[in-house]
Amino acid sequence: MKITICTISLIVALTAASLSFKSKDNKANNDRIASENAFLQVYKVFMSPRCMNCHPAGDVPLNGNDNHLHPQGVKRGEDGKGVYALKCANCHQSQNTPGLNMPPGVPDWHLPPADMKMVFQGKSAHELALQIKDPKQNGGKSSHDLIEHMKTDLVKWAWKPGDGRTTPPLTYTEFYNQFKLWIDKGAVAPE
Ligand code: HEC
Ligand code: HEC
């Protein structure tokens, strides 16, 4: 009789433990899927022209929805602010210059610096997620700093890009919420 009660309570205990493991597993799994899906949403914004044009694979910014090389011989330079007489700030003001094909602008318009290029062009979602969360490649930023960056003028500009330019495929609020969700659920790089 004693043995049976012992056995039963052991079975009950084991079942309870395995159920709680299962639900932990399920939570981890759900978080992973939520994080991956959130990144796949923001990835569409990252790869859209307004963002990608400042995050080129080479050392020349890109222009337009076809991502063609910036004319006028403009180059990144060490600090991302241009070279010699071709500093970004010569043409790009602290706000958009009105009119078609006029220079867009926000305060301190520039590319990421030469030692931290933060390339979007040509990256898969997996590669981009790894690059963005790697402090060695993102300028030593924590996940919290990354969320803060999404509130800067450079990023917000994409949703008020000046005459004749299209905006990214998500609204700013959708983008911000999905980016935060990606981080909050573990910043998982989609396969
Ligand atoms: C005018 C150029 C410009 C535009 C447009 C731009 N960025 Fe950036 N981005 C930068 C610069 C410069 C940096 C490097 C950090 C800095 O100097 O602020 C950067 C860094 C980043 C980083 C790296 C993380 C970090 O905190 O530095 C991410 C992610 C990012 N940008 C996302 C975006 C997204 C998303 C968009 C479009 C909605 C966008 N950027 C549009 C210039 C730009
Ligand atoms: C000689 C003037 C000049 C200089 C210098 C210059 N730009 Fe431009 N830039 C322009 C003009 C004009 C446009 C608008 C082109 C258009 O819309 O057809 C432009 C457009 C852009 C765009 C495209 C925006 C988009 O999404 O289509 C980016 C990105 C850009 N510039 C980055 C830079 C950066 C970064 C620097 C410095 C490294 C720089 N530019 C230096 C004149 C200049």
Per-residue pLDDT for the chain (191 aa), expressed as one digit of tens each? 566 776 777 676 666 666 677 778 899 999 999 999 999 999 999 999 999 999 999 999 999 999 999 999 999 999 999 998 899 999 999 999 999 999 999 999 999 999 999 999 999 999 999 999 999 999 999 988 999 999 999 999 999 999 999 999 999 999 999 999 999 999 999 99
Query: From atom 20 of ligand 2, which residue's Cα is the shortest distance away?
Result: 103
Query: From atom 37 of ligand 2, which residue's Cα is the shortest distance away?
Result: 88
Tell which atom from ligand 1 comes closest to the C-alpha of 88: 1
Query: From atom 17 of ligand 2, which residue's Cα is the shortest distance away?
Result: 101
Q: Ligand 2 centroid to 89 CA: how many Å?
A: 10
Q: Ligand 2 centroid to 162 CA: how many Å?
A: 12
Specify the amino acid at residue 86: L
User: What number of CA atoms fall less than 13 Å from residue 171's CA on the CB side?
Assistant: 3
Which of 47, 59, 63, 154 to mutate for ligand 2's pocket (most ligand atoms within 8 Å of CB)? 63
Which of 154, 159, 174, 177 to mutate for ligand 1's pocket (most ligand atoms within 8 Å of CB)? 154
Q: Write the burial class of residue 167 (CB in 10 Å: 0-12 exposed, 13-18 middle, 19+ buried).
A: middle
Nearest to 58 by CA among 111, 104, 106: 111
